[in-house]
Chains A and B, each alone.
Chain A
Amino acid sequence: MIGSIILTLALASSIIAMIMFYLSYRGYNNTLNIGRIAYHSMAMLVIVASTILWYALLNHQYEYKYVYSYSANSLSTGFLLASFWGGQEGSFMLWLLLTSIVGIILQSYSSKRGDLEPRVMAVFTLATSFLLVMVSPLFKNPFASIWAEPVFLNAKSINPAYFGMPFLQSFMFSDGSSGQNFVKMSAELVAVLKGAGISLNQFIIDGKGLNPQLLNFWMQIHPPILFIGFSMATVPFSFAIAALMKNDYKDWVKQSLPWVLAGSGILGLGIMLGGYWAYEMLGWGGYWAWDPVENSSLIPWLVGVASIHTMLVQKKSQSKGGPGKYIKTNLMLSMMTYILVLYSTFLTRSGVLGDASVHSFVDPGMLVYLFLVIFISSFILLGVGMIVYRWKTLSQEPPADESILSRELALFTAAIVLCASAVIVLVGTSAPIFGQAVDTFFYNEMHLPLAIIIGLLNGVSLLIKWKQSTTQELIKKSIISVAASILFTVILVIAGLTDLMMIILAFATSFSLLVNLEIAVKIIRGNLKMLGAYVSHIGIALFILGVIGSAFGSDEVDIDLIKNQPKEAFGYEMTFTGIEPIENNTKYAFHINLKEGDKNHTISPVMYISDFNNGLMREPAILSMLTRDVYLSPLGYEEGGDDGHNHGGSTVTLEKGGTTEFNDVKINFNEFLISGETMTAMQTGQDFEMGAALTAEKDGKKKEFKLKLISKQGNRELTSESFPDLNMKIELVNLQAGNIQVALSALDNSQPETTAPKQEVLSVTASIKPYIGLVWIGVLVMFLGFLVSVARRLKESLV
């Protein structure tokens, strides 16, 4: 309740700030200070609201629907903090929080640069206002009460002390197919509980927990970094509109540039951390699958980076006086970056990608969908409207005539190539809106030529000067790099690279790497602050080389590892040495010894049954080395020996869907037979019966049968079933939530034929990924380059 009130106050402050900043821009004198106070109060209120949400998560206040849905008692403090952004409401909240903080810095930054502040902050507070409406009680409010809409809670999360309460019975439901019980949480139940003097936090004692795939170290840092990048994308948009408001296009470029650089660097890092998470956790074997969620954050990044290139041209061309070249391009790209962030949010939060992504998105409802559409449309209209409004001034830009060998044209072409890449990803990712989908080869094939152009440009543009270079000069300068790149490519071809396009790409990339390295070395001896661009481009070249290596040099094989019997793969002797329960026996680590020559490494893929979704979860294990990774993704495991399989007269516990074997008869436990009436009868002490449906199968012949638990006047009776033709008797021993126990015996009392003890087998997909480390190193180097550039451009923005 208090959280919603605070967020509503924040919304009011944000709107007041927006109006006050706008009035200051219109020339009112006393409004600027009110705007500043209003903005800072808004930011403070958002920080307080976020703290309340964190507090509720840490203290397990399951009266909040959000806390119940995305956290649980068993989560560690780190994951409890991270469950803040486990769901939609919270991720909007995180976005809002980070945007508010970015705004505090932006306010201080813009107040030191002329009359910039009122204009920039008026646009910026429009964005915060929209986000605040998003988390308001109307839409995705993280402080919604659990009973606001009737919801079914798993009986496991209800305090068992209250199970006996007679009033609860009319709120109990049972799901026949899973055998689980639920409590219908609604306003009526809350009223009843209140009457009985029970608080919601006493009644609900555990939450649903976080999706196990999110329980990973990278999950704790990937979303916040990504959202910092998203939040910072608001800034270039604000600067562009501010320039249009003033109708002056000279200063905004240098003022905006440090923000674009910092934002793109952080967003890029965030995207790649997501890729690393996928690689390490999801066991796809890769870091990038062109999944819509990955794609949708890549699109604004590409456009943002494109805008950096053309903004540099504008800034450089200002030395001749005037606002410089590419004004329209820069304004549009700056605005597109943020609009694409919003579009990305729309794609991933509106439910349109329902069937297209590994991330599951449930339709958030028509209202939210509409609001997202309004959100994006407002910013598009604002941007387009302002450009149209100022078209007369904008089209006065002197015609830019670049010679082919000028750095201006090279930079412009780079921006075009980056935008082309953005268009490809946008088209592919948006296809599900029209009920279509594209195969990943669409992205791969389209990007290959683009990557080649990027590599060549990346090298050539640095060798040519601003304005004009002569061909001879270029040849002279590039001859060493070209020769070395050819040599490098030939080595790769000898090493086994056969695809023609890949060979060209390898050449282009190594060329750009060498040129950038050469210049970087020269700079290190001279002026260090100029280093940024070269470091970034070395990063991208290393990244592409890593992609070539890991995508085309990788190899994969499925192997069965019998315990303690070494098997050879990729030059390693792999031995499955045993299982170890980890993390309080909730997971199992499967130790595998990798022997290469006289070096031994042990890595351990993990498998476990998740309580969250009752599914088998698998986590890969990676042995990272300088030149390659060995990647082991578990497929399955067969217990060996004396474990209830294949021997007579034993009791076996079967989970729903589980299978066991007895004398070559396969027995399958299909489902529980429990009806709603049974539940009521059970609780009121009347007679009832419930049971389990099973199938016995031998030589392709199937028999379906039922085993029952019948309760008559308090006496329990358990049924059994005999199959003379299968020489098997099966008795129900116990039936409880989640599983049944059955006793299996032979009818003729003969001992079943003794089979040799089964071997313990672990099946894994082993793959080798050469130079995948370059992918991560490349991105980190690129990020570093961005930081250096930010430092340089920050100084220039004050001049």
Chain B
Amino acid sequence: MKNKYIFGGAIIVLFLSLMVYLFTQSNIQYEEDFAVVKANGKTVKATGQWVKEKNYEVNKEQRTFSFYLADAKGVEMKVLYNGSIPNNFESAVSVVVTGKYENGQFHARDILTKCPSKYEEQYEEVKTTTSVM
């Protein structure tokens, strides 16, 4: 009985403390307010929409991909990513970038594109037919 508890107990304590430590180390907050993203300079997951009007740029020499992302309030920031355009980027409903805001731009190390839905219809957006003329 004792052996079981000493063995198990030691592993559990060690393990839990390691987990809590690593969790705090690797913890990333979601942030939807770009004003906050720009201000705190921490690694965050920022969710926004690609500013289509400003298009995107692919720099072949430096292998970077950059574009503008806007949050719900319309605050924009430039996102720089070392890599190529993710699949589905053009048709993404929203984009989640993981990284940090430094020197006037957001350095993303990961881009996640949320696409109109594997699982659900999303044409409701179309309801508001836009008149741009």
Contacts and interface: CB of A to CB of B under 8 A. Distances in A.
A788 B124 CA distance: 53
A182 B126 contact: yes
If over half of B's interface residues share one DSSP class (helix, strand or loop), that class is named, otherwise mixed; here it is mixed
Given A613-B115, A615-B89, A689 B133 contact: yes
Interface string A756-767: 000000010100
A437 B28 contact: yes
A676 B15 contact: no
Contacts, number: 181
A404 interface: yes
Interface string B76-115: 0000000011011111000010000000000000001011
Contacts of B115: 211, 360, 613, 615
B118 interface: yes
A675 B133 contact: yes
Contacts of A662: none
Most chain A CB inside 10 Å of its own CB: which residue of B4, B29, B89, B124: B4
Contacts of B127: 152, 173
A626 interface: no
A12 interface: no
A479 to B, nearest CB: 24
Interface stretch (A416-424, A591-599, A734-742): A416-424
Contacts of B4: 400-402, 409, 412
Contacts of B19: 423-424, 427, 446
Interface residues of B, number: 54
A286 to B, nearest CB: 13
Nearest to A706: B133
A687 interface: no
Nearest to B29: A436
Nearest to B96: A355
Interface in A383-415: 399-404, 409, 412-413
A785 interface: no
Given A358-B112, A362-B122, A420-B15, A442 B2 contact: no
A87 interface: yes
B66 interface: no
Contact of B91 (A176, A282, A614, A693): A614
A88 B85 CA distance: 29
Interface string A173-198: 11111000010000000000000000
B116 interface: yes
A152 B126 contact: yes
Contact of B132 (A618, A635, A668, A673): A673
Contacts of B23: 427-428, 438, 442
A413 B12 CA distance: 11
Interface string A612-648: 0111111000000000000000011000000000000
B55 A657 contact: yes
A449 B22 CA distance: 13
Nearest to A609: B90
A177 B120 contact: no
B87 A676 contact: no
B30 A437 contact: yes
If over half of A's interface residues share one DSSP class (helix, strand or loop), that class is named, otherwise mixed; here it is mixed
Contacts of B28: 436-439
B87 to A, nearest CB: 6
A671 B52 contact: yes
Interface string B7-39: 110011001001100110111111000000000
B31 to A, nearest CB: 9
B132 A151 contact: no
Contacts of B58: 636
A438 B29 CA distance: 9
Contact of A442 (B26, B130, B131): B26
Contacts of A560: 60
Nearest to B25: A442
B19 to A, nearest CB: 6
A171 B130 CA distance: 16
Interface string A331-364: 0000000000000000000000011011111101
Contact of A176 (B22, B63, B119, B129): B129
B1 A436 contact: no
B129 A675 contact: yes
B3 A401 contact: yes
A64 to B, nearest CB: 13
A155 to B, nearest CB: 11
A361 B119 contact: yes
A177 B22 contact: no
A360 B121 contact: no
B87 A355 contact: no
A428 B27 CA distance: 9
Contact of B126 (A175, A359, A427): A175
B81 to A, nearest CB: 13
Nearest to A213: B87
A69 interface: yes
A309 to B, nearest CB: 13
Contacts of B11: 413, 416-417, 420
A445 interface: yes
Given A439-B28, A618-B87, A416 B132 contact: no
B87 A617 contact: yes
Contacts of B30: 355, 432, 435-437
Nearest to A177: B130
Contacts of B91: 613-615
Interface in A582-620: 613-618
Contacts of A176: 129-132
A670 interface: yes
Contact of B121 (A151, A354, A409, A765): A151
A674 B117 CA distance: 25
A569 interface: no
Given A416-B8, A675-B133, A214 B55 contact: no
Contact of B47 (A214, A355, A403, A441): A355
B67 to A, nearest CB: 12
Contacts of B45: 355, 437
A678 interface: yes
A106 interface: no
Contacts of A300: none
B132 A671 contact: yes
Interface string A690-726: 1101010000000000000000000000000000000
A678 B129 CA distance: 11
9 contacts: A87-B118, A173-B127, A175-B129, A283-B87, A404-B3, A432-B30, A616-B89, A671-B132, A674-B133
Interface of A: 65, 69, 86-88, 151-154, 173-177, 182, 211, 213-214, 282-283, 354-355, 357-362, 364, 399-404, 409, 412-413, 416-417, 420, 423-424, 427-428, 431-432, 435-439, 441-442, 445-446, 449, 558, 560, 613-618, 635-636, 657, 659, 668, 670-671, 673-678, 689-691, 693, 695, 763, 765
Interface of B: 1-4, 7-8, 11-12, 15, 18-19, 22-23, 25-30, 45, 47, 52-53, 55, 58, 60, 63, 84-85, 87-91, 96, 112, 114-124, 126-127, 129-133
Query: Would you list the 5 A-B pairs with minimal beta carbon distance, nearest first?
Result: A152-B123, A176-B130, A362-B120, A675-B131, A676-B129
